Each structure stands twice: as structure tokens, then as C-alpha cells.
Structure 1
């Protein structure tokens, strides 16, 4: 009978204390109180004079159990194994209860800006590479744009009609592109390092080379503008 009377409160206290495992620090008083009540019950089994002593011993035992088996900072690692107590709530931790270093997010990759094609109204007389006066306004507009946006560069592209040999037209287209580039640099102050020139000969017509009107349109210079990285 004495064994039964002792075992029942002991099992009760053991079960309640086991339930304290995982409690956060704010729950320790409750855990200690549970231990105290259980201790008092065990003491009372022996005699009423042992009840008070059992209360004190049980309270201390309960609090100690909570410290060893509880989780003060609520990170999922019990106190006796937690090498980094006081971790802020919600912090990702390792098996030792220490914060796991966050991997640096990869730097965003800047997308290259799409080149902007500028339709210059720069036309040339047949078999000529001289920039005409009526083309100056368009060239100046390009120069003003590049001055406003100093991070830009431009490629000046020369073209011809289909009259003549491929080799001759290739050379003529390069001269036309170079002539417009010279105007941009020498008359309007665009830095030469920001300008390239290229000729495409007769390979990129925009009108019908079978007519005089079409050939006149094909004798042209265009420009492609893009931002430098």
C-alpha cells in the first residue's frame, strides 16, 4: 500500500515535469509550481510535516528540470544543448542553437539596354559622300541627344544604292558614314571615342533600287545609339 501511495504522486510529478520540456522561460514559474505541488504530495504520503519540505524541494526540482530540459529562447534546442541562448524568436538555428548564416542573395543581373535606332534624314547625291546642308539639322539633333545622355555611344552606318560594284559601294558607304561622324565630332563636339562608323554598301536597301526615287532613299546614313555599361 505504501508503494502504491508513493508511486502515484511520483508518476504524476514525473509526467508533469516531462511536459515542461520545451517550455520557454516565461513558463518556468508554472513548471516550478507543478514540481512544488508534486513534492508536497509526496511529502504528505509520509506525514503532514513533510508536506512543506516536499513543496520546497519539488519547486526547486521543477525549476531545475525546466532549465535543463526547457527551451528558454524557443528556438527548438533545449537549454542544456543550446550554445547560443537568447537567440531572437524566429531565427533559423543549427543543432547547437546558434544562428545559421544567411546566404547572400545573388546580385541582380542588369539587363543590357536595347540599342535605339535613330532614323536620320541624311541623304547623299549620287556617287557622293559630301554631307548636304539640309542634313545638318538631323545630325545636330543626334549630337544634342548624346550630349544630354553622356553614357551613350553611337554607330554611324553608311549605305548606298545598287548602282556600281559591290566593292565600290562598300567603300562609298564607309566614306558616307565617316563624313557624318566627322560632322558630329568637329562641328557639334561629340567625343570621338563615343562614335564608330561602319559601311554596309548596297546590302541593306530600304527602298526599291529599280527606281530613281528608291535609289535616292537608299543613299543614306543611319545611326544606332546605345547606353554604355
Structure 2
């Protein structure tokens, strides 16, 4: 038994390499039972002889009549599991190589103790055969084996297995493993077969809410639920899980995510602004008697179509000029559609403006006004205010005295001075007026007489259309 400590040290080391992330329900399994060692494989001179007496337990197998192996494994995903197996046995039957065509000889090598520690990579074929109880498998691995005090070697392992699961957690397991010795002299450590028969127990599954569905497969692991809903509850019993049910405490059809529709207008009560009266989906479930797109409860004129901006009532046209008050810049005075409901500026009005403009007097050579000009400017302001939607251009002109550049600047300054007064003092919107100077370039009379020059020094008003 001196190698027993070696066995357990090897098991601890191998178990350290078997840790993988949990990836399945009950990922851990432990199997224990009896094992049998058959050395005939090494003694056979031909491949077919190695397995010709595979089940000859009476002559070839070494069996210790007690629990003699322990396997611990963990599922690592994609039908693979990784585990370690520790086994003990006593070699009382050792098959010697036969001489010529003679029989195989079985001897007792001296009741040698047998110890083995093996790592096993197992692949389950259960999903392929689509069975819930029969679990065939293949495995590979490697380990180290001791026979007696003098024989020990590493082995490369491969084999087949079969487990019958009585329940989800308990099964009867059989595994046969061929162990190829790494030793050059096979008599020192023979290649051999080892068979295992035992009970397997799976564990490690977690069911936090106790509903019989493992957390891994439970869509609601913290709340007890129903199996048909992957562990999620359905409080109102309408066939929709609470997590997907917009009204989990009141039964309703799936088309409304579990919510009722009391008025039958195709809108769930929770989304229906008028749940007791059938209405239109576009209006949140409320009716619209006049069809103007405004719900009756918000429509001040529910029987007459009107825009939303006017609370569902038609827009008025107080002055009857065909331009609605909301668009009429002059809602109390008849105007034209072209002029936004305001009266058009007539030729007569323009003549009045220009008659006033001709009397605007400036200080000689300057853009400042003479005192008698201010009443004229105020009269112009009054006319401009009568046509708030019209735009005008103010044009300055000079006589020919002085140089062209100086006259150009002077005309611009005088036209600008008129605009400034009309906007700052008269309150006319600045965007309604523009100013421009033409200097002496557009005379309307001769510049050879004093009267002609006076006529050429003028301010004109033009309507901008």
C-alpha cells in the first residue's frame, strides 16, 4: 500500500486541472464502483487476439471485490466533460505471451497491488441518438499506473462507455478503457484493458426559486413560474408571461400584450384615452364626430370641421376680404389676397408720399434736416402705417454742384437720414424700407438754373413690389 499516497497526490493534481466554467445543469458527476484489469492485450501476439477474450472475466480479469475506483468529472460544454479517475486493484492473474501457437498462460505474479490515476476527456453521444436515458460515449485520456513496487509507467488511454440514467441524477455506468503503456519493454509495464462498473450521480444544479427548473434554463430564476413558460410566472393566467404582459394582473388577448380592450375599438385600455367609448386609433381611441382630426372632448366645435390651431373651429374672416384673420395682416380692413389682407398702395397714395418727399429740406451740403421738414416726415409716417405690409425704397438725388463722388455720398447720406428718422422716430419696421443714393446721375430738370437745381435736389419714394 506504499503507493497509495502517490495515487491520492496524483488525483489532487489532476482535479486541479479539471475546473471549468459551469455550462450545464448539474455539471458535476461522481462515479464509484468496481474495476477489472485485463493484461491479455499485452500478451496477445496478433491484434485480433487482443480482444478475442474480451469478456473472459473468470480467466483473465483481476477484480477487487469492493469499491475500487472513483471518478469525478465536470461538463465543459458541447457534449464534452473532463474528469479524473483513481483506481486500485490487486493483480492475481497475469497473462503471459504465448509461445508459437500454444495457449496463453495465466500466472499469479505475486498478488501485486495495482494503482492508477487517469485524466479522462469524455464525449457523450446521447444527443445523437436522441435518448433521455441511454448515454453512449467515447473517451480518451492519459494517466499513470503502478503495479507492485517495481513496475510503473505513463499510459495513453482510449475507450467506450455506456450509462443508463434511472433518473436525471442517478445512473448505472460501464466504461472499458484500453491503456497503451509508454514503456519500451511491455513486460515491465504491460498495455492492458481496464473495465469500470459503478453508479453515477450528477449534482451541482441550481434552482433558486424552487420551481423545478434549473437556473440555467429558467428565464425567471428568481421568481417561481411554470415549465411551459421556461420558469416564468403568468399571474393573470392569460397565457402571457408576466415579463411580457403589459397588464400582468388583468387577463387580456395576446394581440394587446395581455391587456383588455373594453370598448372593442382595437386599442388596449391602457393605451386608450377614451377606454369606454369606441374611437379612432389615430386619436388614441377617442371619437371625432366632425372628422377634423380633433377628438370631440378637445374640439370646441365638435360638429363643424376646424383646424387644431383654432381648437377645432373654423377660422374667422372679420373684414370679409377672403383672407382668414390668422393670415390677415389687416384683419379689420378689407384688403387683397396678394397683399396679405391689407389694402394695396394706390398711385394716389404714392403721389401723396412723393409730394411730401419733395418738400424734405436739408441743410446745405449736409444730410441734416431743416426744422420745417419734421412735420413732413411725420405725415409720411402716418401714411406708411396705413400699409404695414408694403415695402418702400427711399432714393436721394442732388444737383450738379460739386464733384460727382461728393454728390454721390451726399445723396446716399440724405436717403439714409430719411430712413433712419422714419424707423427710429416714426416706428416703421426697418425691413420695410431701403435707401439708395444716385448723386447727380438722374436729374429731372436743368442744372443751369437755380429753380432747376432745386428740383434736382430731391427725395423720391418708390413702392417695392
State the TM-score bracket (shorter-chain normalisation). 0.3 to 0.5
Name which one, 1 or 2, has greater alpha-carbon Rg.
2
Q: Which structure shows the higher strand fraction?
A: 2
Q: Say which structure, 1 or 2, has more relative contact order (CA 8 Å, 6+ apart).
A: 1
TM-score, normalisation: structure 1 = 0.46
Q: Which structure shows the higher helix fraction?
A: 1
